[in-house]
Structure 1
Amino acid sequence: MKTIVITENALVIACHPDFPLEALLADNPPTTFGSAFFQSGETSLLIATKGCNDTSRLLVIGEGSKGFFDLLPVDDHATLFERCVRVGLRSFDKQIALNPNWMPYRQDNRTSLFATGSSDLRILAETNYDGSRNTYVYDLLKAVSTKDLHNCEPVSTPYLNAIAEFSELLAKGASITVNDSGSVVLDHIVSESVAKGFAYDEWLPLLSLAQRDFVDRDIVGPLRVRGAAGTGKTLAMVMKVLKIAKDAGENPKRILFLTHSWAMAGQIDEMIRSIGRDIPTASLVDVYPLLTISNQRDYSAIGRRSLGLDSDSGKRDALKIISTIVDQFVASDWVAYRSGCSPSFVEQFEALPNSDLRRNLSWDILVEFGCVLAAQGMLGRDRDRERYMRVRRVGYMMPIVTSTEREVIFRLWVKFLAHLKAEGLIAADQIVSDYLNALQTFYWEAKREKEGYDYVFVDEMHLFNAQERLVFHNLLADGDAVPKVVLALDPKQSPREVFAEIFEDRDKKNNSVYARAGLPNPEKVDFVEIYRYTNEISILAKAVIDTVPALDMGEDWDIPGGSSVIESGPTPVYYLEQNTTGVFKRAMKVAKKQQFTARKRGGQVAILCMDYEKFHTYQNAATGQYPRDVFVIKSRDDVEQLRYMNRRIVFSTPEYVAGLQFDSVVLADVNGDLVPDTNYKGHQERRFLSELYLGISRAQRELTLIASKDSEGLTPYLQRQEEIGNLKRA
């Protein structure tokens, strides 16, 4: 391969999902791509824009000591290239972060990070190489060989040869005509309307009246924007960040944009840089997941690593731990508690280990751990037990009838924490709890004026629990001023109960979610126009959310459902198959058929599984039978690679693709048995319907549902929609 040279201004173009990487690696690139042009020399390939000159900073990607791109499968080339480009962006702009999941490691001016999520190869790069302002990505080596970067010396010949050719290739490109209008285009993961490549001043007149009012409104205290999926909340938040930066002028501001995952952080970071590309500003805009901000300690120094519950593998690991400790508890201490428990509670604990009842119990315990115990920072001590015994039970929670049942759950929580400790694990909620304590110290008070933020923006607030919400206002530079925190939310998009508040029996009054987060009486702006999907899909989504049992959240549960302003499309349809095998075959058949029309519209097809227990089976079948046709998303951070898989069918669950949009969606296993008619129905019903709403609202043009006869057929929550014509059988 030839050495690749990318000028600083061309790096953002190299991030585009349709960037012709394979043609570049074959030394046969097009003449232009967007506003960039290509020039091939004897030893190097140049990617540059018209604004470049001999003094431009460069990212140089070398051949490696044992090869580079050829060391990985073709499917991994785009991921490797993106990470190299991200290293370049980071070296030229310190506001840009490297995803911690890539395990970046620095020694002096050298950086190392994993090439892909599944490879043991690490990228090696050096900033200001050879005394220049350039960054040189110089090797790809086994992780075991990169422990000491001082011993990983770069081979300089490819770099020096490329630099020698640079001026000549740049001069040759001066005569090439490029398409300036396509200079920057956002990742296709962003909703179709956002992906037009418009800059800030071009977007302003296109905003709705409600969006423009939100962007122009002065921030005098907490401000929240509410709206259903597809109403443009994230775009409006980005525009407001850019307006603050633009208006700051000579008085730069520090702005933090918090998200729930690195996937969303990366998307928003690209939106801010693309839409705000023409705004000259000295203001700082940081975009990070909350957990990254919170993870200020080196837990590896005490032998701990994070157990992430936002991924498929993390959840399954946690469920295995819970299942194990329940088995151990039933075989030992259970007899001392049994007589104080209700019959339904006893039935679940004494069910066979692999039965549906026991699996449902493990899920309920996982939610109780995450949304009640961990979310409130309870660490398993006696005072935490007393607090837990006082927690006021509400409808969405796991049904716990007696005080003995609470004792059982708390005992399991203590055992769970002990298991984490023994295995060298630490839960995300424990990291946040540590960080909250750090934010209450004199040390933070002394430095917050300098390192705190003037504004904090929070996307998808409905995904943050009570403990996490306490972080927001504590990150502001002025701890005494009215908090300038801007929130976007739609609680019905959350398949978890984290947004609901937890109260203790001794609480005198039910303070709101916002008051308890230190954000009292936030102003409210509602978005009701939907730009993402057809009216036919909008009607079905609204019918589902109107059925969801309300949490104790007051007006924020009654956010306007919204109405679509885009052209009509086909009525959603459903299939009724005999069994799980039939559901899988039908899902793949429908998806492959819809893929052709979706591609013509520039979109993608997704199969989303409603039954989490079957998701693992389906993904194995999909990757085994259709390895070149599907791309499985098993966590929100897998979305990072989706931009390079836009010709494949996405296979996932609604939760993992929250915030993303697809031309066509196939929802598998929309079954009646997912909400069993038991004492536990209330909270399972809410969780199922929120997940269903989330899945439906991922579709832009076509929506197909599939149910199984051996799982009680189509969920009864949608049968009425068939009767009135909002859903029809295929």
Structure 2
Amino acid sequence: MSIDTLIVDQNALATLDSALVEDSWFTNFDLPENYVSLKRVRLGGRVYLLSREVVAESGLLVIDLKSTKLLTGETNLRYRFERVLRVATRHFSREVVIPIKWQLFHHGSLISVYGDPIAKQSGFRIYFDQAPEGERNIFAYGSSVGPIRDFLTIEKNDKVYKNAIEDYETAALTEVEVSANAGHLGIVLAQPLGAQFSGSATLEDWYEKRLTVEQRKFVDCEHRAPVRLRGAAGTGKTQAVAIKVLKDLYAAETKGADTRIAVITHSSALAHEVIRGMFYALDPTAKWQKPENASLWTGTLYELAQETLQYERKGLEPLSLDGRDGRELQKLLIGDALDAVAKSPRLKLSVLGKCSQNLRSRVENPAERPALIKELANEFACVIEADNIRKGTKESEKYLNGSRDAWQMQLEAKEDRVFALEVHEIYENGLMNQNLLSMDQMIADFSRYLATHEWRQLKERKGFDVVFVDEFHYFNRLEVMTFHNLFRKRAMESGNTPLFMAYDFKQSPNDTSLNAGGKNGAAYFKMAASGKTELVEFKTVFRSTPQIANFLKDLDKSFPAIGLEDEWQTYNAGSSQDPGDTPKLIVYETNEKLIDSVISSAITDIRSNKDGGRQVAVLCLNEHLFDIYRNSGRIKDKIVALTSRDQMGDLQYARSRCIFSMPEFVAGLQFDVVYLIHADRAELAEERYSAGLHRRVVSRCYLGASRAAKKLVIAASEERGGRSNILCMPLKERSLAD
């Protein structure tokens, strides 16, 4: 009898979600040899994958394998299974978010999502019932291909669900010996991604034996004042945050205190893949998931806004709930707005025609398009949206006629700024026409809501006693100002809100923090939390060799100090790792020779690395070339391309292929080997040079290089002017060998 139904209990979801699965696994759904946490029970055509620690109230995911097309012979099985697991996990834990690109639709208790990454083209969707037979389980019951169909037209075989539930007790009570399966099963049960970074030490081991004096000082900070945790890349800021969160949560739980703790990030993957994975490593029993007295919320600021404002119920759709992903989608809409300018005689003649020659040539030159969109996106997020500037307002007059800071986009003439406001208006209209809310619009709404009488009434129930913010440097002014209003009244009584902020401004490839704080870092933090902030600084690098740390120290000297001077500290971290090779610079004659040689070298490194391609990354510093390369047939079979942080799970499938990405998409991750390509002179073209562009170029290089643990190679192309001038100091000090 063939297998037609798969049943997974709630406690087994996380284990399977971090597993590496191949198409062959979907034939028998076997478990690896000697795996003791889960058991497999087959009853007729049904397979149960259950936690060995059966919990009576545990919910169940029931999958009709045939109807959802999750059987061997179908395509994209791994992605479909991952999406089914994510939807089920979200059903049992509202902290988990469904990415906006999955296009979640509702109809009563029924929901559907796109079934795989290419489903937007094929129209493949998977359907779920979140209350089958009125129960708290979730049933994946069907699928469709093509145009979106009415829920009621999708057949649901209720008998499949009923049979699965009827046999569950038998399966749960069945004693199964540890599997003796041999051979290739098509599945490897791995730790969650964050657990792999955190290591095998428990919370107690970390606190008692592994924390440095600096880390211990941070973890022991009381909830009496705001705390700034500053540290260079690789100094263990996220790890320390994870340890402190669990320590504080369990301390509150022991006291029986009703303490609400939030961990807020800019990236969904950082929250749900890395930090939650660290929690699993620190406490594999996962007591943090269901505390009795205290509570823990983990997610992005955008997820918190979505949850609080309940956009789903109102039929509104945010562009994204991930900060980085949302910014990338916004760039696509800005590109559409520029196209609209070219098609409008009025805008082309009356607006663009009056702009400076420099801006006109940039708009009209296709080769300049990626850089122009990136700078406009920065202008919109960090200036126009941050200051709520709209055409015809007092704010717009100040924007058009006022002075500009060195970090801002080069808009020489007043007419150039008129053009920027016109493009912004078209961009906003594009959002409205698609019934979308941008990240900035959503946060603006959220910020206003936090000042309402309704929130004042609700925040004693829904507000927090302690808030941790990781990657604080990615938040703009409006976002920073929301943190102050997230606290319960009792947490603010002393006038010192317990907000813990981990940051490194030099890792931010945009200018959000510069606009927020101007020349004064204290002003930036004052917008986030009341009271004098305490500073804890980490100065020991755990990720990189001393040689890579020395390179970062010399690269640091290339940063122009153009804002937040009191926070723009000289890189002074020392490495605790064993010595390695000096980072190397290689300049290639052409782009083609560069990419061919680098990928070939990366594959050679993979063969000598026990963890395979997951530990070897090629990071591109130029967006346009990154898009060209990742779609190129010459390297496509040799890379796993990461184009957003919500693809972090794909790291585990690298094996004989290297990771190919950009620095901002792998922020928070580390690799044994990093090839940083296209550190070219052209990235700082003289005709569009500004101090802000200079800082962003150095930040992207710094962010990419700091991902390397043991080996760093930097590549440049003569076709794009040779190596960048930002490498002059490392070359002079010999921390970079040529």
Q: How big is each residue's C-alpha offset from its partner over 1:455-502, in whole Å with a ceiling of 9 and x where there is no partner?
A: 221111111111111111112222853322111100100111111135
Cα shift at 1:558: 0.8
Q: Does structure 1 residue 557 correspond to structure 2 residue 563?
A: no
Normalising by structure 2, report the TM-score: 0.87
SS in 1 for 2:262: strand
Paired amino acid for 1:258: I
Cα shift at 1:559: 6.2
Once residues 263 and 341 of structure 2 are traced to their aligned partners in structure 1, the CA distance between those partners, rounded to angstroms, is: 39
- The answer to whether the 8 A contact 1:19-1:33 is kept is no
Once residues 326 and 472 of structure 1 are traced to their aligned partners in structure 2, the CA distance between those partners, rounded to angstroms, is: 41
Change (3 A) 1:415 1:602: closer
Once residues 72 and 378 of structure 1 are traced to their aligned partners in structure 2, the CA distance between those partners, rounded to angstroms, is: 51
Q: Does structure 1 residue 85 correspond to structure 2 residue 89?
A: no
SS in 2 for 1:37: strand
Name which of structure 1's ranges 306-315 and 539-548 shifts more when overlaid on structure 2. Answer: 306-315
Paired amino acid for 1:500: L
SS in 2 for 1:659: coil
Matched with 1:501 is 515
SS in 2 for 1:495: coil
- The answer to whether the 8 A contact 1:549-1:686 is kept is yes
Q: How big is each residue's C-alpha offset from its partner over 1:526-550, in whole Å with a ceiling of 9 and x where there is no partner?
A: 1111112222222112221232112
- The answer to whether the 8 A contact 1:245-1:252 is kept is no
Matched with 1:306 is 319
Matched with 1:341 is none
Matched with 2:384 is 373
Matched with 2:448 is 437
Once residues 632 and 519 of structure 1 are traced to their aligned partners in structure 2, the CA distance between those partners, rounded to angstroms, is: 42
Change (3 A) 1:421 1:63: closer
Change (3 A) 1:557 1:147: farther
Alignment of 1:321-360 (within 5 A): 321-322=337-338, 324-325=340-341, 328=344, 331-334=348-351, 337=354, 345-350=356-361, 353-354=364-365, 356=367, 360=371
Q: Does structure 1 residue 458 correspond to structure 2 residue 469?
A: yes
Once residues 107 and 62 of structure 2 are traced to their aligned partners in structure 1, the CA distance between those partners, rounded to angstroms, is: 19
Once residues 13 and 302 of structure 1 are traced to their aligned partners in structure 2, the CA distance between those partners, rounded to angstroms, is: 33
Name which of structure 1's ranges 718-727 and 221-230 shifts more when overlaid on structure 2. Answer: 718-727
SS in 2 for 1:663: strand
Q: How big is each residue's C-alpha offset from its partner over 1:628-661, in whole Å with a ceiling of 9 and x where there is no partner?
A: 4322222233334434445532222111221122
Name which of structure 1's ranges 679-688 and 576-585 shifts more when overlaid on structure 2. Answer: 679-688
Paired amino acid for 2:44: E
Matched with 2:184 is none
Once residues 567 and 733 of structure 2 are traced to their aligned partners in structure 1, the CA distance between those partners, rounded to angstroms, is: 29
Cα shift at 1:291: 1.9
Name which of structure 1's ranges 435-444 and 466-475 shifts more when overlaid on structure 2. Answer: 435-444
SS in 1 for 2:727: helix
Q: Does structure 1 residue 46 correspond to structure 2 residue 48?
A: yes
Q: How big is each residue's C-alpha offset from its partner over 1:160-205, in whole Å with a ceiling of 9 and x where there is no partner?
A: 1575376357534156699xxxx996434x38540x2443223322
Matched with 1:726 is 735
Change (3 A) 1:680 1:80: same
Paired amino acid for 1:272: F
Cα shift at 1:299: 8.7
The one of 10, 13, 19 aligned to 1:11: 13
The one of 210, 213, 217 aligned to 2:214: 210
Paired amino acid for 1:322: L
- The answer to whether the 8 A contact 2:203-2:243 is kept is yes
Name which of structure 1's ranges 369-378 and 149-158 shifts more when overlaid on structure 2. Answer: 149-158
Q: Does structure 1 residue 222 correspond to structure 2 residue 226?
A: yes
Cα shift at 1:609: 1.0
Paired amino acid for 1:12: A
Once residues 175 and 625 of structure 1 are traced to their aligned partners in structure 2, the CA distance between those partners, rounded to angstroms, is: 45
Once residues 560 and 58 of structure 1 are traced to their aligned partners in structure 2, the CA distance between those partners, rounded to angstroms, is: 50
Paired amino acid for 2:394: R
Once residues 34 and 543 of structure 1 are traced to their aligned partners in structure 2, the CA distance between those partners, rounded to angstroms, is: 49
Once residues 332 and 96 of structure 2 are traced to their aligned partners in structure 1, the CA distance between those partners, rounded to angstroms, is: 32
Paired amino acid for 2:357: V
Change (3 A) 1:21 1:151: closer
- Alpha-carbon RMSD across the aligned residues, in angstroms, is 3.4
Once residues 681 and 625 of structure 2 are traced to their aligned partners in structure 1, the CA distance between those partners, rounded to angstroms, is: 15
Name which of structure 1's ranges 670-679 and 640-649 shifts more when overlaid on structure 2. Answer: 640-649
Name which of structure 1's ranges 669-678 and 92-101 shifts more when overlaid on structure 2. Answer: 92-101
Cα shift at 1:128: 5.5
Cα shift at 1:565: 1.1
Once residues 91 and 313 of structure 2 are traced to their aligned partners in structure 1, the CA distance between those partners, rounded to angstroms, is: 26
Q: Does structure 1 residue 484 correspond to structure 2 residue 498?
A: yes
Once residues 54 and 176 of structure 2 are traced to their aligned partners in structure 1, the CA distance between those partners, rounded to angstroms, is: 10
Q: Does structure 1 residue 253 correspond to structure 2 residue 259?
A: yes
Matched with 2:685 is 676
Give the total of aligned pairs. Answer: 710
The one of 213, 235, 240 aligned to 1:236: 240
- The answer to whether the 8 A contact 1:31-1:38 is kept is no
Matched with 1:315 is 331
Q: How big is each residue's C-alpha offset from its partner over 1:27-67, in whole Å with a ceiling of 9 and x where there is no partner?
A: 55433335323344432333334322777543333323363
Matched with 1:417 is 428
Cα shift at 1:310: 3.2
Paired amino acid for 1:65: S
Once residues 81 and 431 of structure 2 are traced to their aligned partners in structure 1, the CA distance between those partners, rounded to angstroms, is: 36
Q: Does structure 1 residue 655 correspond to structure 2 residue 664?
A: yes
Change (3 A) 1:382 1:46: same
Q: Does structure 1 residue 265 correspond to structure 2 residue 271?
A: yes
The one of 701, 712, 717 aligned to 1:703: 712
SS in 2 for 1:728: coil
Once residues 416 and 111 of structure 1 are traced to their aligned partners in structure 2, the CA distance between those partners, rounded to angstroms, is: 30
- The answer to whether the 8 A contact 1:607-1:667 is kept is yes
Name which of structure 1's ranges 348-357 and 253-262 shifts more when overlaid on structure 2. Answer: 348-357
Q: How big is each residue's C-alpha offset from its partner over 1:119-165, in whole Å with a ceiling of 9 and x where there is no partner?
A: 23333333464466543333333475653369652342376157537
Once residues 514 and 72 of structure 2 are traced to their aligned partners in structure 1, the CA distance between those partners, rounded to angstroms, is: 50
Matched with 1:187 is 192
Q: How big is each residue's C-alpha offset from its partner over 1:365-413, in whole Å with a ceiling of 9 and x where there is no partner?
A: 3321221111223243412313424765222112345555444433443
The one of 191, 201, 204 aligned to 1:201: 204
The one of 574, 595, 606 aligned to 2:606: 595
- The answer to whether the 8 A contact 1:348-1:357 is kept is no
Change (3 A) 1:333 1:445: same
Paired amino acid for 1:495: P
Cα shift at 1:247: 1.1
Paired amino acid for 1:218: E
Matched with 1:342 is none
Once residues 655 and 503 of structure 1 are traced to their aligned partners in structure 2, the CA distance between those partners, rounded to angstroms, is: 22
SS in 1 for 2:447: helix
Once residues 709 and 88 of structure 2 are traced to their aligned partners in structure 1, the CA distance between those partners, rounded to angstroms, is: 35
Q: How big is each residue's C-alpha offset from its partner over 1:596-620, in whole Å with a ceiling of 9 and x where there is no partner?
A: 1234478422211112222221122
Cα shift at 1:225: 0.7
Matched with 1:521 is 532
Change (3 A) 1:431 1:145: closer
- The answer to whether the 8 A contact 2:238-2:470 is kept is yes
The one of 151, 155, 169 aligned to 1:148: 151
The one of 396, 411, 414 aligned to 2:407: 396
Cα shift at 1:556: 1.8
Paired amino acid for 1:173: V
SS in 1 for 2:39: strand
SS in 1 for 2:174: helix
SS in 2 for 1:31: coil
SS in 1 for 2:364: coil
Once residues 426 and 108 of structure 2 are traced to their aligned partners in structure 1, the CA distance between those partners, rounded to angstroms, is: 43
Matched with 2:185 is none
- The answer to whether the 8 A contact 2:554-2:735 is kept is no
Matched with 2:551 is 540
Matched with 2:104 is 104
- The answer to whether the 8 A contact 2:195-2:280 is kept is no
Matched with 2:163 is 160
Unaligned runs of 5+ in 2: 182-187
Once residues 98 and 424 of structure 1 are traced to their aligned partners in structure 2, the CA distance between those partners, rounded to angstroms, is: 18
Once residues 597 and 492 of structure 1 are traced to their aligned partners in structure 2, the CA distance between those partners, rounded to angstroms, is: 33
